[in-house]
Structure 1
Amino acid sequence: MPRATKPDDEAPDRPRGPEDTPAAVALAGVARREIGHDNDTASHARTATAATTATAKVAAVTAQPAGATSPLGTPDQLAAEKLAKRVVNTLPVALVKLALRAGFLSAAKQQFDKVGGPDQGNLDRLDAAVNAYAMASAFQQQLLNSAEPTVVMQVAPPHTWSDQPGEAVPASRILYDNPDTIYRFMGVNGASKYVITGRFADPAHVPADTTFSVLTGLTGDTAAVLTKDNFTVNPDGTFTVTADSTPANGRVNHLQLPADATLIATRNTLSDWGTEVPMSLDITRVGGPPNSLFSQLGGFAIPRIGPAVVRNPVLTKLVSLIPPLPSVPPVLRGAVTAVIMALGIQREATYIAVATTDPATGQRQEPNVLRNPTRNAEFLATQLQSAGYFQLADDQALVLTINPDGAGYFVVPVTDDWTVTKDYWNEQTSLNISQATPNGDGTYTIVVSPTDPGVANWVSTGGLHQGTLSIRFQVLQDGTSPTVRSQLVTLGELGDVLPPDTTYVSAADRAAQLAARKNGFDNRFAPYPQP
């Protein structure tokens, strides 16, 4: 189904495929379940056409040359970025930014009370965190007309594209973004059927982990996950995923959409930045009610109302009677984005608490203490996380001893008090299992510090003396139980606590390490290098 590359607000957002009427966007969620059948004869015709389109997409993906350019810079992505940049400059977004900033600051003062609240280094990054949340929300409002789904990369760093070298796309990083992960999202509802197609350009070097998650409601809790170990890929790297309200019943690569489903989130976790490349991805709606004003304005996302419509064929047909608007003014998009942003005030407080509060006791924990990994469905139900926060002077270091215990992937990323990463492409503010050097016994010792200690396994705080950590473990085996131990020391004491086989680096070694890191990051947006 062709889509516009320039969705101006004076024209329809995207040209119509034969299965849908004009579109626009808005709100924050989608719905669940039943009605895998179509509503009328015209719907059957739309479904047949869309199914043919989905099959054609698989063939087109197969024909693409491997490794030519980044699979992320699609026409849909470029269009979404252009529109998001317009939306964040509207008055409703500007006004809610003020509330968001106050909310973020209030949450941080409460959650970091044991260290006197956020320090100046974090206060200096507050506006950037708010701007990133606004940008993410501007993407979110585009996703949620689930009758016209698109694949949109967000929770992303600032970047540029080769065909738009002068147009930097602002960051949309939020809520413990992972430097290794490419996040893409698709709006769905349980009254519709979808086919997702894609391709791994180099089947010999696929990402360390790939997941397709069904997220529910406005909180984004995980309802179902298709993981790498139960995901079927063709020999040429292509794949097809289906999604609807019905169970898999033996079908491979199928996701069941519950009644409060809102999004399908895909994650490509790149462990080796030099060889692993994100998959190409596309989505087609192949069945369900016609596009409508209800869907266009995010009706399937509204708590209780959306799921009720999905569950009731009569209501589904009723809300489908009013066609969508031919276009949505920027100020209306901004108003919807502002609503999504307002939800972020509580979300930010919740996520900061992941680092500062012991879930077992509900009490605030001390800095520089990392708990053993546990599951948290709000992140990803199939991974484990060890969270905490640090408070370090220039001459101090937090020494982490990590036992993956068979986990195929882990990462140690530094985030600020607002749970956002910084410049991880030019600075070594994260290390994963492929980038770090193991100890002789299979464990890993990582040194987190503001000052470079000359250790290969150094995670820089990026100039911060206070911030958060969320260590992730993925590609887990049955019985896998990773552990994390932390120890606060001075730089002068490192020699006494580091393993005897620790690898040290010279200034030239560090420069080479950072150069390789930057080159690997640039591959994500190839062929254009990033600033």
Structure 2
Amino acid sequence: MTTEAFQKAVAEAEELIRNPPFEISEQDLAEGLDYLAGSIRSSLQMAFDYDLEHPVLINPTHQYARQGLDNPDAIYFNAHLTDGASYVVSGRRGSTADLSFQVMDGTYSDAGAPNTVVAFDDRELDVAADGTFEWRFGPELGLSRGSTLIVREVYDDWNAEERGTLRIQRLDTAGQPRGPLTPERVEKRFGVAAKMLTGRIRTWFAFPEWFTYQEPVNTLTAPASTPGGLASQLSSIGHYALADDEAMIVTVPVAACAYQAIQIGSAWYISTDYEHHQTSLTRAQSRVDLDGMLRYVVTERDPGLANWLETTGHPRGVMMLRWQRLSEPLAETDGPNVEVVPVADLPSRLPFHAEASITPSDQAARIADRQVGIARRMIS
């Protein structure tokens, strides 16, 4: 049967979700099964859109197919590359805070993260006055079969910035027709999707164990190159465990960069619902205190504050702060300071508590803005 391998992989992946290497609640299980559905969708997409002769930029990670503590502010595109080939990536620069390119010598797996071959942002491209650009590359990068291109468009202001356009073409096969589809090729692709599916689940079980969970709970690391991630980005990682009546205050200075953000993730090492809940904030979405500091409050209960990050029923989870397009280096003192306090003590522990307070209708308006911002990306 053509789909037999994939059917077995779906059953195996469900077993992995139902029996993860950590304790789960009924809510965690429901979210895990939703994560499984997104992983099935993405694995099929990656396997069936995969074409080394005529590559395309695939959008495999989004709010319906989360993975790898996906950035709520990013639109991700992937393309598979091979040795001996020449490529051109072209398009029109949008107005997003960042547009970055990264070539890796493989894909993420439960054995480790691939190495970065090259990583840069659009400032290194010759962008014309009308926003158009080209980037040509090939054998000089030492590409191999299995190399991967990742392009990220990253928003600071979800409702003001606009997407650009992107495309990839393999130059040495341009104009050649694609070969005919055969039952054997289709069966092979179902097999590829099967391996991708179970590999994806196992990879993101392993990844946080290498980095995030090596840190003490309720702490965040000093800014550093993102482990296994975008080489041109600095990040701070950590994980939290909070009682229902506790809050974490994360204080960080405004940095000299185009993009600065914070997010919460679940035990599945994926983003939590950032469309209908405020589980992430960019600098544009955040309130800056009068002393130039960003103070975020991580808690389950609504504290009536602009910079509330809702844990959405997750008393334990992961966190990440990101900085991109830095114009000045970050020192250790530019990193986050973390304090866990009783929710009831927030008015006395936040120096600008009154100024940062918002009403329930203000919070509803912020959520409505998020919903519009995500809808503008037109990913469904």
TM-score normalized by structure 1?
0.65
> Gaps spanning 5+ residues in structure 2: where?
109-113
SS of the residue corresponding to residue 341 of structure 1 reads: helix
2:207: which partner in 1? 351
State the distance in 2 between where 1:463 and 1:366 align.
22
2:51: which partner in 1? 145
Say whether residues 1:95 and 2:1 are aligned partners.
no
State the distance in 2 between where 1:176 and 1:197 align.
28
Aligned residues: 371
State the distance in 2 between where 1:352 and 1:108 align.
12
In structure 1, which of residues 484, 490, 494 is the aligned counterpart of residue 346 of structure 2? 494
1:213 offset after TM fit, Å? Answer: 0.9
* Structure 2 contact 69–270 (Cα < 8 Å) conserved: yes
1:409 offset after TM fit, Å? Answer: 1.6
122 and 291 in structure 1: CA distance in 2 versus 1, 3 angstrom threshold = farther
Measured on the aligned residues, the alpha-carbon RMSD in Å equals 2.7
SS of the residue corresponding to residue 475 of structure 1 reads: strand
What letter corresponds to residue 272 of structure 1 in structure 2? D
1:455 offset after TM fit, Å? Answer: 0.4
RCO comparison, higher one (Cα < 8 Å, 6+): 1
What letter corresponds to residue 265 of structure 1 in structure 2? I
Can you list the C-alpha shifts for 1:161-202, whole angstroms capped at 9, x where unaligned?
Answer: xxxxxxxxxx2211101110000112221311111221135x
What letter corresponds to residue 237 of structure 1 in structure 2? G
Say whether residues 1:189 and 2:82 are aligned partners.
yes
2:150: which partner in 1? 265
1:478 offset after TM fit, Å? Answer: 4.6
State the distance in 1 between where 2:317 and 2:51 align.
36
Aligned-residue identity in percent: 25
1:392 offset after TM fit, Å? Answer: 2.2
State the distance in 1 between where 2:363 and 2:307 align.
11
Task: Give the number of the structure whose residues are more often strand, by fraction.
Answer: 2
2:132: which partner in 1? 238
354 and 485 in structure 1: CA distance in 2 versus 1, 3 angstrom threshold = farther
SS of the residue corresponding to residue 239 of structure 1 reads: strand
Q: Which has the larger radius of gyration?
A: 1
* Structure 1 contact 92–338 (Cα < 8 Å) conserved: yes
404 and 180 in structure 1: CA distance in 2 versus 1, 3 angstrom threshold = same
230 and 289 in structure 1: CA distance in 2 versus 1, 3 angstrom threshold = closer
SS of the residue corresponding to residue 441 of structure 1 reads: coil
1:440 offset after TM fit, Å? Answer: 2.3
Say whether residues 1:217 and 2:106 are aligned partners.
yes
> Gaps spanning 5+ residues in structure 1: where?
1-86, 110-116, 158-170, 247-255, 297-322, 359-364
In structure 1, which of residues 485, 509, 520 is the aligned counterpart of residue 373 of structure 2? 520
* Structure 2 contact 259–325 (Cα < 8 Å) conserved: yes
Moved over 6 A (4+): 289-292
* Structure 2 contact 120–232 (Cα < 8 Å) conserved: no
TM-score normalized by structure 2?
0.88
342 and 520 in structure 1: CA distance in 2 versus 1, 3 angstrom threshold = closer
In structure 2, which of residues 265, 278, 281 is the aligned counterpart of residue 431 of structure 1? 281
State the distance in 2 between where 1:487 and 1:354 align.
24
* Structure 2 contact 9–194 (Cα < 8 Å) conserved: yes
Residue pairs, 1:323-362, within 5 angstroms: 325-326=181-182, 330-353=186-209, 356-358=212-214
In structure 2, which of residues 351, 359, 370 is the aligned counterpart of residue 506 of structure 1? 359
SS of the residue corresponding to residue 408 of structure 1 reads: strand
Residue pairs, 1:31-430, within 5 angstroms: 90-103=3-16, 108-109=21-22, 117-157=23-63, 171-200=64-93, 206-219=95-108, 220-246=114-140, 256-259=141-144, 262-287=147-172, 325-326=181-182, 330-353=186-209, 356-358=212-214, 365-430=215-280
What letter corresponds to residue 224 of structure 1 in structure 2? V
